Structure 1
Amino acid sequence: MSKFITEGFLILQTDFSEDFHARLNDQLNHVYEQEGNPGNNLLPRIREVQQIFDHPVVTGALTSVLGPNYMMHAHRHGHYNEQKIAGGWHKDSYWGYDKMRNHHPWWAMIMYFPQATPKELGPTGVLPGTQNHQTRTFVPDEMPEEALASGEAGTFALIHYDIWHRSTPNVLGKPRYMLKFEFMRTEAPMLPSWDNQVTEWSKPASYTTPIAEHETLWEETWNWLSGRLGSLAKTGSGEPSVVDALAQQLTSDFEPDALNAAYELARHGNAGVNVLMQALLDGDENASRTAAYGLSVAGPDAVPALLSALDDEIPATLVRTIFALSEQQQHAAVAVPRLTELLSFPEDRVRQAVSEALGLIGSPSDQVVSALIQCLQDSDVQVRFTAGLALSRIGASADAAVPQLEIALEDDNRYVRAHAAEALRYIGSERAKDILIDSLFQSRWCSTTTPASTFYP
């Protein structure tokens, strides 16, 4: 877990037989040659894939990072790489979200390789330690520290959703598949969800990534994953000279230094919050975004100032303010009425941020659920499908949303429909389950029906 926090990925291995992977590759070859990429239908089209995600190494790794009730997201994709040139470095999008990226691991991805994948076959490459960085401007294009998800059949990379990664050249020109699945945490951590043997953070002895050191950020992430929300709050002295020096560092053009300053300022109570708020409301985009990360971990002292910032009229500032409040979770419950008012804000991305934040704050549940029912009826598709994910996080307390979720099962957008189904599953009432089962039977997809085999045998 300490390696995942610092480097943003783990390379792990399942122990399926060679025959299992041979059959899986035969099916992949057949489907891709005869039908093309099955996209989101990868799982029902090749049903053995589910066995991968039931494997104890996979479920154990996901539970460790995302908690016991994680969600397999509706988007999944089988990547076929035959390119002899490397793909571009990128972070995956959140399907259109114009949103703040997460430092806390609310999301993760698994990239599974069903065939032996030496480096010549073009495995995925990741830049260790870049999951918390918005840019790559300080990282060389051809850095020797790139990590490759290479190995025998059954190798997979579990990555922080926001890490920089790319496909590497397939110089052998042979088929190379990578099955990409996304996963979402549905509950904030209350206790460590891995076999934890120590309480306090320490950097792993194996850490060798020279990109940047983020000791305070890593410590805070460890504590958050251990159920200690707001662990940095008031652990600093608040001494003016220290705060002034950090204020200067917060505006550094070197992103790692600015990020470290934001997390250190979060230690210094109201003195640190005041500096971070000034940067949040400033016109500099980078400083404003970085300050939002500091405010998100500064504890309850930051909530009143963030609440006042909800009166700002600049959409980007509002999105960052809403993000910082959302990471305060239950400490930000006082902001729910004002957040609900922002559901009439004309800019879509503000309403999208509100929809996500409501699910993370979670209480008072009646107000949150009422607002999310409103989100399910929004004109913007991203507000609607974010509302489904938010209601999944609310779970059983969101039963009042079931009628609107039933309507959302008929939405034009595939992810609104999928997230509505997930919300019904996590709500779990008899009414929710009946609606979900009826919908699933009506939309049943036959995995053996293809243009070449329409109904027989």
Structure 2
Amino acid sequence: MTQLKLDTPSLLSDEQMRKFITDGYLILQTDFPEEFHENLNTQLKKVYEEEGNPGNNILPRIQEVQKVFDNPVITGALTSVLGPNYMLHAHRHGHYNASPVAGGWHKDSYWGYERMRNHHPWWAMIMYFPQDTPVELGPTGIMPGTQNYETRIFETDDPKEEALASGKAGTFALIHYDIWHRATPNKLGQPRFMLKFEFMRTQLPESPSWNNSEKAWVKPSSAKALPGEHNVMWEDTWNWLHGKIGSMADTQPKDVMQVEELVKSIEHHYEPVALNAAYELACSGKAGVQGLLQALHHENTNVSRLAAYGLSIAGPEAIPGLISALENSRVETVVHAAFALGEQGYLAGEAVPYLIDCLKNHSSVYVRRTIVEALSMNGSHSEIIANELSKCLQDSDNQVRFMACLSLARLSSYADTAVPELELALNDENRYVRAHAAEALRYIGTERAKDSLIKFLLNSRWCPTTTPANTFYP
């Protein structure tokens, strides 16, 4: 197979992007020669046997892994979903599975960061298999279409709809970060490695970043049978990836009785039904928005959360009500309102002063964590936002500090005034604050930012051949 140039990402097609939106994953294949994976597996086995799992240091410890994430099939897939300036997150992990027992179904956490999960693709994950991985070797199992469900709606542990990341060496799963997945049983008992890396979008999409030729949303012909049909949500995501925020607002006006029925449906016990009701209300004009704002204040926090997803795509009509909700006495309502304002992006520019005031004065760390991220997604008032985020680098909460670093990275050169505080954060006690501060300096990119980053990287440089068995000598 002809090798592609590293600087030529192999972008996804319209059909692949549509499948990713509906199913939440793609199974793809890199084009490395067989000897590359033989060498990589030899090194993985040696490191795991002699040193244990290197955790976040797997990339510098086994430098061939970087070639994986420079491969044009992978860079093209990530660029297509997350945009051209996506970030490789500081958390990375090499999974080893030799167990005949299946792992439990789960969604990955954000490493202690309690946050609402994004339906729009702000985060994604790559699961890379460096050896031939037949079904019997225990590949990762993925439940299609579950990326936007908080609950595990399927009842059995071995559902027929499960998709397996099975294939030749170099197979990888590109997944929406929030999809339900698990490790399947390794019936062969042979070593099975999977390299898991996560990635973050650093800017709102302005135009399609994949190989796009069709503008209108059409459900993919290759889509699996999914737990629910979510046509409004899917179309909104497609439009959002085209740079169109709030495009579904007021596209399907409904009368009072229809709105009342949808408001009741947000309380439905089956999450796909409730989720559809929230998204349909977002398209239903002023009455629909008022119904969502009513549900935002519902005593059931799950109903309030679902309403926030609807309000996040409801356009300008929802902004005043969301701003008002920032003054609510219930923490969850404030969190949900701040989340929706963040997802509204530049449409919520008028909310920035209110978000900043709430950030300064609210006692809840959950509120501060949410607002720190929401501000970085606004796309306006960048210098004012950068000044407030830099103050958050001194917050007592680890998660506020490391999300502030990630948010400053999204502001790029507008965050130049935050460089002195980021320099201090390079010595933070928390590993992710330090790592994200370094990333923020990289994305800010001014001379002082680059000088500080280079000094930090030189002082913390890693020698991949220094091990307990080989301490000093070549």
* Shared fold, TM over 0.5: yes
Deviations 1:264-293 (A, max 9, x none): 100122211111111111111221111000
- Please tell me whether residue 382 in structure 1 is matched to residue 399 in structure 2: yes
- TM-score normalized by structure 2? 0.95
Aligned to 2:338: 322
Separation in 2 of the partners of 1:54 and 1:61? Answer: 11
Corresponding residue to 2:441 among 415, 421, 424:
424
SS at match of 2:377: helix
- Please tell me whether residue 309 in structure 1 is matched to residue 325 in structure 2: yes
Contact 1:138 1:254 in 2 (8 A): no
Contact 1:322 1:357 in 2 (8 A): yes
Q: What letter corresponds to residue 204 of structure 1 in structure 2? A: P
Separation in 2 of the partners of 1:87 and 1:94? Answer: 19
Contact 1:362 1:368 in 2 (8 A): no
Separation in 2 of the partners of 1:131 and 1:175? Answer: 29
Aligned to 2:216: 200
Deviations 1:119-166 (A, max 9, x none): 100000000000010101344332101000000000000000000000
Larger displacement relative to structure 2 (327-336 or 427-436): 327-336
Tell me how far 1:245 sits from its aligned partner. 2.1
Aligned to 1:369: 386
Number of corresponding residues: 457
Aligned to 1:165: 181
Contact 1:139 1:211 in 2 (8 A): no
Tell me how far 1:86 sits from its aligned partner. 0.4
Deviations 1:303-357 (A, max 9, x none): 0000000001211111111100000111112222221222232211111011111
Aligned to 2:146: 130
- Please tell me whether residue 277 in structure 1 is matched to residue 298 in structure 2: no
SS at match of 2:247: coil
- Please tell me whether residue 399 in structure 1 is matched to residue 416 in structure 2: yes
Q: Name segments (4+ residues, structure 1) moved above 4 Å.
A: none
Separation in 2 of the partners of 1:369 and 1:122? Answer: 45
Q: What letter corresponds to residue 347 of structure 1 in structure 2? A: S
Contact 2:144 2:224 in 1 (8 A): no
Q: What letter corresponds to residue 247 of structure 1 in structure 2? A: V
Larger displacement relative to structure 2 (232-241 or 214-223): 232-241
Separation in 2 of the partners of 1:317 and 1:83? Answer: 43
Deviations 1:98-129 (A, max 9, x none): 11111000000000000000010000000000
Equivalent runs, 1:241-252 vs 2, <5 Å: 241-252=257-268
Q: What letter corresponds to residue 230 of structure 1 in structure 2? A: G
Aligned to 1:176: 192
Aligned to 1:354: 371
Larger displacement relative to structure 2 (28-37 or 330-339): 330-339
Aligned to 1:61: 77
Separation in 1 of the partners of 2:214 and 2:155? Answer: 33
Q: What letter corresponds to residue 36 of structure 2 in structure 1? A: F
Aligned to 1:84: 100
Larger displacement relative to structure 2 (78-87 or 240-249): 240-249
Tell me how far 1:242 sits from its aligned partner. 2.1
Separation in 2 of the partners of 1:176 and 1:150? Answer: 11
Q: What letter corresponds to residue 322 of structure 1 in structure 2? A: A
Separation in 1 of the partners of 2:205 and 2:181? Answer: 27
Equivalent runs, 1:91-106 vs 2, <5 Å: 91-106=107-122
- Please tell me whether residue 144 in structure 1 is matched to residue 160 in structure 2: yes
Aligned to 2:4: none
Separation in 2 of the partners of 1:6 and 1:350? Answer: 30
Aligned to 1:259: 275
Separation in 2 of the partners of 1:139 and 1:63? Answer: 35
Separation in 1 of the partners of 2:397 and 2:212? Answer: 42
Aligned to 1:442: 459
Aligned to 1:49: 65
Separation in 2 of the partners of 1:76 and 1:138? Answer: 28
Contact 1:87 1:168 in 2 (8 A): yes
The percentage of aligned residue pairs carrying the same residue is 63
Corresponding residue to 2:133 among 117, 120, 125:
117
Q: What letter corresponds to residue 75 of structure 1 in structure 2? A: H
Separation in 2 of the partners of 1:288 and 1:98? Answer: 16
Separation in 2 of the partners of 1:389 and 1:137? Answer: 32
Q: What letter corresponds to residue 409 of structure 2 in structure 1? A: S
Q: What letter corresponds to residue 146 of structure 1 in structure 2? A: E
- Please tell me whether residue 410 in structure 1 is matched to residue 443 in structure 2: no
Separation in 2 of the partners of 1:323 and 1:239? Answer: 28
Gaps of 5+ in 1: none
Q: CA RMSD in A?
A: 0.9
Separation in 2 of the partners of 1:351 and 1:333? Answer: 18
Q: What letter corresponds to residue 353 of structure 1 in structure 2? A: T
Q: What letter corresponds to residue 395 of structure 2 in structure 1? A: D
Contact 1:85 1:168 in 2 (8 A): yes
Separation in 1 of the partners of 2:424 and 2:444? Answer: 16
Separation in 1 of the partners of 2:229 and 2:463? Answer: 50
Separation in 1 of the partners of 2:254 and 2:319? Answer: 18
Contact 2:23 2:226 in 1 (8 A): no
| Counterparts in 2 of 1:138 and 1:165: CA distance versus 1, 3 Å | closer
Tell me how far 1:445 sits from its aligned partner. 1.2
SS at match of 1:376: helix
- Please tell me whether residue 190 in structure 1 is matched to residue 206 in structure 2: yes
SS at match of 1:74: strand
Deviations 1:25-58 (A, max 9, x none): 0000000001000001000000011111111110
Aligned to 2:3: none
Separation in 2 of the partners of 1:244 and 1:48? Answer: 57
Separation in 2 of the partners of 1:210 and 1:107? Answer: 21
SS at match of 2:89: strand
Q: What letter corresponds to residue 459 of structure 2 in structure 1? A: Q
Aligned to 1:331: 347
SS at match of 2:188: coil
